[in-house]
Chain A
Amino acid sequence: ILNVEQSPQSLHVQEGDSTNFTCSFPSSNFYALHWYRWETAKSPEALFVMTLNGDEKKKGRISATLNTKEGYSYLYIKGSQPEDSATYLCAFRGGATNKLIFGTGTLLAVQP
């Protein structure tokens, strides 16, 4: 059974704080790591697809890094805003399959 774990489960920060969370995944047979943002009552929205060890991707105030050798990825949010409040999901893709294994997510709440 492939395990994709995210920590922390939830996070409460003040507007303007910077924050980060972790996704751990199997280090063997790695193909890609996806990050999604999921707002309440909406559907998951893709943030990044990362494939290479050492990859760093950025979209506005959100960035992500990837370490495939040790099996982790960090998602960073700089200067959190209330509209960043959402669940952030990572998903692991291994080998030749196009199947994604999702973590349980980190729920971020940003207080104004």
Chain B
Amino acid sequence: DAGVIQSPRHEVTEMGQEVTLRCKPISGHDYLFWYRQTMMRGLELLIYFNNNVPIDDSGMPEDRFSAKMPNASFSTLKIQPSEPRDSAVYFCASSLREGEQFFGPGTRLTVL
């Protein structure tokens, strides 16, 4: 298996633009997680899905952030409109049941 796949790996955009981050979990995994990593707050969970259903979105910072999982092999995290303070590395991870989580390579987002 190729592991968790994320795209793009790097994104540079201007304030106010819409940003969409993509994730393909490991085949057969039933949990998918979106994390954000910043110097100030470390690694924090934004939202997670179980069998494509959002379970806990309490970490989503505000209404500008939304996440979807239309099927078992694809998820998106959208920021609209983006702001400079959204600059961070965004990780997607997946797990089988409640076991160890496998992380993707991350998307480094820079909002100018």
Spell out A's residues near B (CB within 8 Å).
Answer: 32, 34, 42-46, 49, 89, 93, 97-105
Contact B42 A99 (CB under 8 A): no
Question: With the chains together, A46 CA to B93 CA distance in Å?
Answer: 11
Give the nearest-CB partner of B92 in chain A: A43
Given the known inter-chain contacts A43-B104, A43-B105, A44-B103, please indicate yes or no for A99 contacting B45, CB distance below 8 A.
yes
- Cβ-based interface call for B102 (8 A): yes
Given the known inter-chain contacts A43-B106, A44-B43, please indicate yes or no for A98 contacting B98, CB distance below 8 A.
yes
Across-interface contacts of A100 in B (CB, < 8 A): 33, 45, 101
Spell out B's residues near A (CB within 8 Å).
Answer: 31, 33, 42-45, 48, 50, 55-56, 91, 95, 98-106
Q: What would be 13 A-B contacts, judged by CB atoms less than 8 Å apart?
A: A32-B98, A43-B91, A43-B103, A43-B104, A44-B43, A49-B99, A93-B98, A97-B56, A98-B95, A99-B48, A100-B101, A101-B45, A105-B42
B interface, over-half SS? strand
Given the known inter-chain contacts A98-B50, A98-B55, please indicate yes or no for A49 contacting B42, CB distance below 8 A.
no
Question: With the chains together, A98 CA to B51 CA distance in Å?
Answer: 13
Chain B min CB distance to A81 (Å): 23
Chain A min CB distance to B65 (Å): 17
Question: With the chains together, A98 CA to B101 CA distance in Å?
Answer: 10
Contact A98 B48 (CB under 8 A): yes
Question: With the chains together, A105 CA to B95 CA distance in Å?
Answer: 21
Across-interface contacts of B55 in A (CB, < 8 A): 97-98
Across-interface contacts of B101 in A (CB, < 8 A): 34, 46, 100
Interface centre among A42, A93, A99, A105 (most CB of B within 10 A): A99
Give the nearest-CB partner of A93 in chain B: B98
Give the nearest-CB partner of A47 in chain B: B100
